[in-house]
Structures are given as C-alpha cells and as structure tokens.
A and B are shown apart, each in its own frame.
Chain A
Amino acid sequence: MKPIFTKRSSPNTGLFVCVFASLALLACEQQSLLTPFRDLLTSVVYPLQQLVSSPTQGIKKLGEAFSSHAGLLAENEELRREHLLLSAKLSKFAALEQENLRLRGLLDTSFKLGEQVMIAELLAVNLVPYEHVVVVNKGSRFGVYPGQPVMDAHGVVGQVLRVNPQSSEIILITDPNHAIPVQVNRNGLRTIAQGTGQIDKLSLPFLSSNADIQPGDVLVTSGMGGVFPQGYPVATVVAANGEGNAFAKFAAAPVAKLDRNRELLLVWNKPDPIPRVPDQVSSPKDSTTSHAAK
C-alpha cells in the first residue's frame, strides 16, 4: 500500500512559474519574436500531422491503383480535350496580354502582371472548429511567406497565415476573421467580402441598399491592400436581402472549391510593376512597335 501523505515539493511555485511563462510567451508572440522556438516545436508536431493525414492519402492512392483501364482512358481523353481547349484560349490571352501591356505603355501607366505559382498539397488534419484554417505541405523552405495569396483552378482560396519550415497554415476566405477587398467585375464597384464561418458563403456588409449589384455578379480581387493580385475571381453574388435597411446584406458564394481541394496553388506576386514600355516580356516585333510608339 502506497502511503497517502508523501512529502513532495508544493506545486504552488510550479503554477506561478508556468502561468508567468505562458503570459510572457503570449506577450512575445504578439511581437512575433518567437519564430525559431515555434519552428522547433512545429518540427516535433509535423510528423504527427503527416501520420494523421496518411490514411486519407493512402485511400486515395488505393483508389488510383484499383481504377479501371477504361475509366483511365476516358479520363485521359477528357483531359486531352480540356487541355486543347484551354491552350487555345491561353494563346488568345497571351496575345491580349501583350496588347494590353502595349496600350498601357502608350497611356503611361504601369501594370502589375506576371505571377509565379507552386503547387502545395493539403494535409488531411483539422485544427480547430469555427476557424477555416488548413495545413499544406510547403513551408519556408520553399520560400512561402505569411500573407501569400493562395488559389485553386477556379479562384481565390485564401492567404498564408503562418509559415513553418516544412508546412504552412492557410486561412480560407470564408474564415470569420478574414476579409478580402473585391470589386464587381461588371461595373468595378469596390467593396469588402467577409468570411462567415460557413464554407459556401461570404458576406458583403459594406454595400448601401441602392448599390448596383445583382445575383449572378462575379466578384474579382480588386488588388487593394496589396495582398491579392488584381483580377482573380473570388465569388459570385447569390442573394440580396435586407430591403429597407440602409446597409443591405448581400451574400456571395466562393467560386473556389474550398471543401473539395487536395492541391492548392501558392502564388508569388511580383512586387514591382512591369515598366511602362515592356521590353523583357514582349517579342522583338512587339518591342519595335512600342519603341516606335515611344
């Protein structure tokens, strides 16, 4: 039988030290002084996250292994067709982009263009409920930085919240603490789209009730704030309610497949604008014309 009243050091001092240390850490974290310490702790936790994520990925791999030959052929055929279509479209866009740059050169305005992307894979882990934060497998080793915009094939997904050496946390545009500057593609009306905590809904709280906006309007990033590059689709307006209210409540549905993605695109936004006369990006023929214009 173990004696009930054993003598040991009082936990009171321990509690005092721990509470003080926690508060000190919280204060330091506000100034983001603790990055190396946090990186160390993350490298302990990261293998665990991968372990948790691996069954989900394993099931996906298993599905690939057992998919039929005919199914693969059909998928291949479909992808080939889509590829043809998209590359045709893209070649047209390239020509338009050149023309746009040339015209802007004539107008003496600079224009941000040209982004680099990298594909990051989502880890199947949950962090906390009510926050739409996901973990991807690319971190500061790949040059990811906080505030970096994240896209998928359809539109804006969110931005990088916190970077660790091997992974990073991404806050989705539907997180209740996230807001993104947008404009209506049809008429250029600028506003801010806030997350609601529901994966399929954004709210537009700062629009007056007589604003020119209707269901079906596409919202694109406005480039204000400097985080998101301009002109990427964010959401489509779905409903306008709040008649008789000075500030009408509009709702929009994100166009990115926020809950169905496995891969995301990290975007490097070129910080300096492309010069007025585009030399390095245009073909020789184009540059002669722009020089002539100058």
Chain B
Amino acid sequence: MLQNRTATRLVVLASLLSAMILRIMPLPAELFIYNPDWMLLFLIYWAIAIPERVGVGYAWAMGLLSDVLTGRMLGQHALAYSVVIFACVKLHNRLRAYPLFQQTISVLLLLLISQILISWTQNIKSTIPFGFIYWLPSLVGALVWPAILPLLRLVRRAYNIA
C-alpha cells in the first residue's frame, strides 16, 4: 500500500514535470501564443481522477513553481491553480460523469477562470495587451483536452493508480 502511494506520487510528479517542459519549450513566437497552460490541464485531470491525492494544497505548490518558471510574481499562478483545482475537487463526481463534449466545455471555463485570475493579479504592476488573442491558450487547451484525457488515463491504468 505504501509503495503504491509513493509510486502514485512519482507518476503524478513526472507527468507535471513534462507539463512544465511543454510550457517553456522554445517554440517560434507565432506558435507560442497558442501554447496552453499544460500544468493546469494535467492538474485538472489528476484532481478529477484522484481528488484525495491531488488537492488544493498540491495545486498551490505547483502554482508557485509555475510562477517561477514563467517569471510571474509569486502567488499569481498559485492563486489561480488553487481556485480552479478547488472547483475540480468539489465537482469531480459530476465532471467524471459528463460526456466528453461537456467536459471539454467545463475545462475551457476552468482555464478561462485561471487566466482571468492571472490577469487580475498581473494588473497590479503592469499592463498586458487584452483582446481575443490573449484568451487563445485557453481555447487551445480545451481543444487538446480530448487528447490529454485518454493519454493520462492510459498512464493511470498502466501504473494502477486509483
């Protein structure tokens, strides 16, 4: 049982590390504006799948790493991730039961909430350009959700994480 728990922790951490790599990979600028928040997508999956392991505190700690990774002020991503993952943990039964289309819409909403929180905390210090283009990462994130879901489910089944 104990070994199982450490294995779970390692698998979740490894998946989040790959999400961090995807987040900062050196894409050309024209493509980089579409790059979604992979860490949050992966966290949403784990929070729906194993809400008793990946909870609000876990999301907060990952948010701090995400802040440092992308050069934000400490607390911006932490705030956004903990709020979004709170909703996921609260609603995980319902989100699990949703058909894929409805789940994708929910993920889009969650990603948008995260971006809104980040832009609000960002405005304390500086301005960012607003417009449709700012919200593209959330849209792309929702579009890749149908691919992330089976992939991470495969990982979860392979390592027998319940």
Contact = CB atoms under 8 A, between A and B. Distances in A.
B69 A45 contact: yes
B78 A18 contact: yes
B64 interface: yes
Given A14-B86, A129-B35, A130-B134, A48 B27 contact: no
A38 interface: yes
Contacts of A6: 52
Contacts of B68: 38, 41-42, 44-45
Nearest to B82: A18
Interface string B20-62: 1100111101001101000000000000000010011101100
Interface of B: 17, 20-21, 24-27, 29, 32-33, 35, 52, 55-57, 59-60, 63-65, 67-76, 78-79, 82-83, 86, 89-90, 93, 121, 124-129, 134, 137, 162
Interface in A22-58: 22-26, 28-30, 34, 37-38, 41-42, 44-45, 48-49, 51-53, 56
Given A37-B74, A42-B68, A128-B70, A11 B25 contact: no
Does more than half of chain B's interface fall in helix, strand or loop, or is it mixed?
helix
Contacts of A34: 74
Nearest to A25: B75
B42 to A, nearest CB: 15
Given A11-B86, A41-B65, A4 B93 contact: yes
A125 B126 contact: no
Contact of B162 (A2, A8, A15, A29): A2
Does more than half of chain A's interface fall in helix, strand or loop, or is it mixed?
helix
B57 A18 contact: yes
A126 B86 contact: no
A48 B63 CA distance: 16
Nearest to A176: B129
Given A15-B86, A26-B124, A126-B25, A38 B79 contact: no
B75 A29 contact: yes
The 4 closest A-B pairs by CB, nearest first: A25-B75, A22-B79, A18-B82, A14-B56
A248 interface: no
A176 B127 contact: yes
Contacts of B129: 130, 176, 197
A104 interface: no
A200 to B, nearest CB: 11
A199 B56 contact: no
A59 B57 CA distance: 40
Contact of A126 (B20, B32, B52, B72): B32
A127 B71 contact: yes
Most-contacted residue by chain A among B52, B69, B162 (CB, 10 A)? B69
B127 A26 contact: no
A162 interface: yes
Contacts of A162: 71
B141 to A, nearest CB: 14
Contact of B74 (A8, A11, A29, A130): A29
Nearest to A26: B75
Nearest to A13: B56
Contacts of A30: 73, 124-125
B74 A38 contact: yes
A79 B134 CA distance: 44
A72 interface: no
